Structures are given as C-alpha cells and as structure tokens.
Chain A
Amino acid sequence: MIVAAFSDFMQQVVSGLASGGIYALLALALVIIHRSTGVINFAQGEMATFSAYIAWTLTVNHGLSYWPAFVACLAISFGGGVGIHRVVIRPVERGSVLRIVIVTIGLLVGINGFVIWEWGGEPQQLRSPFGTETYDVGGVIVAAHDIGTIAVALGIVLLLWLLFRFTKVGLALRAVAVNPDEARLVGVRVTWMLALGWGLAATLGAVAGMLTAPTVGLDPQMMQAVLIYAFAAAVLGGIDSPIGAVVGGLLLGVLLNMLSYLSQYGAFDWFTEELRLPAALLIILVVLLVKPTGIFGRPEVKRV
C-alpha cells in the first residue's frame, strides 16, 4: 500500500514537472516581454498555438521530417515575433498601457481566428520528437516525452541564462529592461532590442506549443488554459524574474498534481479536475495579496 502510494506520488511529481516545464516556458516568454516593456502579452498562448500549427503543416503538408521542421518553425516564430513588434506593438508603445493590452487582445482574437480559418477547428496530431515509449523506473511509469519536455525546458533556461549573462546582446537586453532611456544614451538600439525580446518570446512560445501538442492534441484552443497557468507561474515566481518563472512553472505543475494526488487519498477530497484552473487562479490571488513580488521578485521602489 505504502509502496503503491509512493510510486503514485512519484508518478504525479514526474508528470507535474513535465506540465510544469511547459508552463515555465510560456511564463518565461511572458516575463521576457514584461521585463522590457511592462506589458502582459495576452496573445502569447495564441502565438504558441500558431507556431505549433506551423510545425504541423511543415511536417504533414510539406513533407519535412521532424527536426528540420522544428528548426524552421523556430525561425519562422522568431521572425513572426519580431514582425509583430515592429508592425503592431511599436505604433502604440508610447501610449497608455491599456492600449497595448487591447492590442494584444486583438492579436489573441485575430490569431485564433486565423488558425481556425486556415487550418480548421478539428484537432490534429503533432508527433512528439521523443517518441511514445514509456519506461518503468521502480514502479513509476515515465514517458519519454515527459523526460524530453523537462530536459528541453531546463536546456532552454540554461541557454537563455548564458545569453543574458555572457553576451553583448544579453547585456543590452538587460539594460533596456532596467532603463530604456539611459540604455539609448549609451548606444543600445532600444527598439531593436525590444523587437528581439518579442522574437525570443515567440520562439519560447513555439517550443512550448510543440511540446504541448503531442500530449493534449493540436487544436486552436490548446494553449488557452496553459496561458493562464503560465500567468500563475509568472506571478508565483515574480513577474520580472526569469528564474522565478521557471521555478514558478515547475512548482505550479507539481503543486496542482499534488492536489489531485491528495484528493485520491482522501485529503482535499473536494478537489476535482475542473477545479485545476480555479486553483491556479487562487494561487495568483494569494501570491498577489501576500507577496505581490513573487518568490524571486524584487520590491519596486517608486521615486516621488
């Protein structure tokens, strides 16, 4: 009994980490844009869905094999992100935050409409790059896709850290996030850095989308719930902290699975799968009220 309960527990932890990895990637995308522009990109989930469809159409309709399609999809997404910033976001950047929020909502509705218009509303199959094998590790069934997802999420975080920490572009990106005006004075091309931020965010979203599609099925609404989990993860970790987004995402994934696990064994028996989303929202509310800066966020000091 105890052994079964323990392997069940580990099972939930592993699958929680896998879904948490996806939340983390999308949360990271939100954080990158929020840090540099102060905007929450409501279209982030739809951009990821769009990218996943690109990968699907490249493999199915254009006969590419998975990895070339993967790379092409990342490139297209990066270009798309830069393009969205140049064409749609930049003209409203100087106005009120609310205007940018409305524009991202317009993007959300528009991209979702385009996906349905172009590829139809029926669910499609996007295959996993890691195959469908499962491994039995001491009674815990581990899917190759889950391990792959966690590995990719951690690998990307490492790459991003290297980019931000050790390259000139990364330094410029951080400078723009801290103080765009002074960054401009010392010769950083601020608008291009912002566009680059959007490109990076779109690329991260693309990875998240391509990793989500094999487990939940590729359909136009696929990322809508994931986006809300990503909000929760970003808030939990501190909305300006990349590390926080990753820790927040993984923590949220495991936490939500723990609730299902505990409800199976009697505790929290009011918890049902429909309450997963409200539970994530409750986490947002509690974090915002108790510690609005999140786990890794720094308190904001306002100068009068």
Chain B
Amino acid sequence: MTARTTRIIGFVAFAAFVAFVAVLPSFIGDFKAREYSYVGIYLIALLGLNILTGYTGQISLGHGAFMAIGGYTTAILMAGNEQFGGPISGGMKDVWTLPIAGLVAGLVGLAFGIPALRLSGLYLALATFAIAVAMPSTAKRFEEFTGGGSGIQLFGTPELTGSISNVEIFGLSFSPNDWMYYLAWSIALVAFAVAWLILRGRTGRAFRAVRDSEIAAVSSGVSLARYKTLAFAISAAYAGVAGGLFVIASAFINPDAFPVALSIYLLVGIVVGGLGGLSGLVFGAIFIAFLPLWAQGQDLGSLLPDRIIAETQKPGGPAMVYGIVLILLMFAIPNGVGGLFRRIGQLISSRRYSRAK
C-alpha cells in the first residue's frame, strides 16, 4: 500500500465514522444518546493524553486532575462562586466556557510541565499520580472558589443549554439528550482533526523523536524543554475541554466527580485504544464509558447464562470482572485496538505485495 492509498483509506474511514456518529442517535433512543455523549467526552480526554503519553512518551496518571480544573472553570464561569464568598459572578453560557476551560487547564499543564521536565518514566507517573490524589482534598479546602464538598449545582440554571426544554439551533430542534450528544461529538471530531494536524507535521515529528530517544532528539536539534512542556500544555488543554463538557453533561460538579480512578481509567483507555495512534482511541473511550456497565451484566443479559449474571451482580463482582477483562486485554492485544488495526493493515498490504511479485 502506498502512502497515498493509506491516506485515502484513512479519509474514507474517517468520513464513514463521522456519518455513523451523526445517525447513531436515531437508532439508540434518547436516553442512550446521553450515555454515548460521555464516549465523545472521554475521547477528547484520551486524544489529549495520547499526545502526551503515546506520542511524546511522558506517562501521566494525573489527567483526571486536569479534567477537574477544566470542569471547575466551566462550572464557576456559569454559576459564579459569589454564593460561597468567591470573586466571580458567573453568568456565562455553557458552550462559551469551554475554550476558557481548555485555556486554564492548558496553562496549569504548562506550569506543571516545567518541573516535570526533570522527571521521566516511573517518577513522572508517581508525580502526576500525586496530583490526581491531591486534587479532591485541595478542591474541598478552597471552598470559597469551589463550593467545597457539596460542589456546584448547574441543573436548571439559565446558563445550561437544554437544561429543561428542547434546543433550537440552525432551524433544527434537539431534545436535551440529543443536544448533549451532538455537542460532545462535534467537539470530539474537531479535537480529533486538530490532533491529527498537530501530529502529522513538524511538531508531531519532534514529539515522536522525544519519545523514541531523548538523546537522539537533542542531538538533532529538538528542544526537549520546549516540546515536553508543549505536549503537557496541549494535552492538559484537551483534558480541560473534556472536563468542562463532562460538567455540562452531568450538570453538577463536586470534588468526587473526578476521582483518582478516573485518571487511572484514562491511562487504561489509551493503552486499550492503542498508544501512538488516534483511530483506536474511540474503543478506549467506549471501554471507559461502558465496561463498568457491561461488567454489571447490563445490556448483556441475553448473552450470558443467568447464573453468571447473578454472581457478577453481587457487590464486588463488577470490579472483579473489570480487572480480569483488563488483564486479558493486555494479553490479547498488547498494542491496543489501534495496534490491531495496524496489524490487519500490514497483513493486507503484505498480501498485495506478494501477489504483485
């Protein structure tokens, strides 16, 4: 397969995927649309994390914290924090807070990227993990900004689009759930395209050079400091937008909305989706959003015997299934779903070439 045919196949697949995303709500029903909007939201966060971890080689176990920063930015800009004694009066429409959420999280990511320059590998994993663990109690501590443990309620506020009634836009009418779905997925698709553009050019090459060998990258004139902090900033900005959307979708934020487990599951998501690839990440996002539900036997009732379903519905059962599935996946598809795609592509192309001979 020449580079050109690969690219054409890529575009066709992407267009088909966009079309699929666009028509999906008419098949799954209104309530499910909201569940699937979370897949789009996780996809945005995974795209960002993969830029940092998959392409630049810097492990982060703290992206839930960047999501929390974006989420709090959105919530505070919408509802304000004057009711807790904070300085911001709020009143911004939900969608317009998202760029700011991305910007704030990106700046924090940039600030964190500078000390993180001194760390690599496992040490970086531990340092970012520390951020994720400290986030909830820090949010509780500064309650005049964040509303403390009880958080900020957004449901029913005028700033939340489609909170109660249908949303009219471009002459179309969306139910609140469909609106959330299309909002999340439009942003996810834009985020996907932006990530693709960043990664295909000079910047992407520099990222990969840093990942593959820092020493080789430096000797070819790639500035480690510049590209590592840049990767941190971009990836945190993605997480910030995802966090903002997450808060809009759940109409609520409190310190426990972004637990340590979320940071861990994001890392799980990119490994399942495939490090250093974009297309597999959708499966990573589905994995994060739905495996906890599937592990409880939801939607699978007709596929498995009742006895097994009953056992896994006991407390602790879902977690047990989740852990086992995760380990088995790491055995079965070591390079994630994206790696599986590439492998299939290689098989097809090698057949083509062998036939041409």
Residue numbers of A with Cβ under 8 A of B are 34, 38, 40, 88, 91-92, 95-99, 101-103, 105-118, 120-121, 220, 228, 231, 235, 239, 274-275, 277-278, 281-282, 284-285, 288-289, 292, 302, 304
Contacts and interface: CB of A to CB of B under 8 A. Distances in A.
A289 B115 contact: yes
A228 B133 contact: yes
B125 A101 contact: yes
B268 A105 contact: yes
Given A278-B134, A288-B127, A292-B119, 20 more contacts: A40-B122, A92-B334, A95-B334, A98-B271, A102-B267, A105-B264, A105-B268, A109-B319, A109-B323, A110-B322, A113-B322, A121-B315, A235-B123, A239-B123, A274-B137, A278-B133, A278-B137, A288-B118, A288-B123, A304-B215
Interface of A is mostly: helix
B357 interface: no
B331 interface: yes
B337 to A, nearest CB: 14
B330 interface: yes
A88 B315 contact: no
A106 B315 contact: no
Contacts of B268: 102, 105
Nearest to A278: B134
A91 B127 contact: no
B323 A292 contact: no
Interface string B284-320: 0000000000000000000000000000001111111
Nearest to A112: B319
Interface in B98-139: 115, 118-119, 121-123, 125-127, 129-131, 133-134, 137-138
A106 B320 contact: no
Interface in B250-293: 264, 267-268, 271, 275
B327 A106 contact: yes
Contact of B127 (A95, A108, A115, A284): A284
A34 B122 CA distance: 10
Nearest to A281: B130
Contacts of A102: 267-268, 271, 326, 330
10 contacts: A38-B122, A40-B126, A97-B122, A99-B271, A102-B271, A114-B320, A235-B126, A239-B123, A275-B141, A277-B133
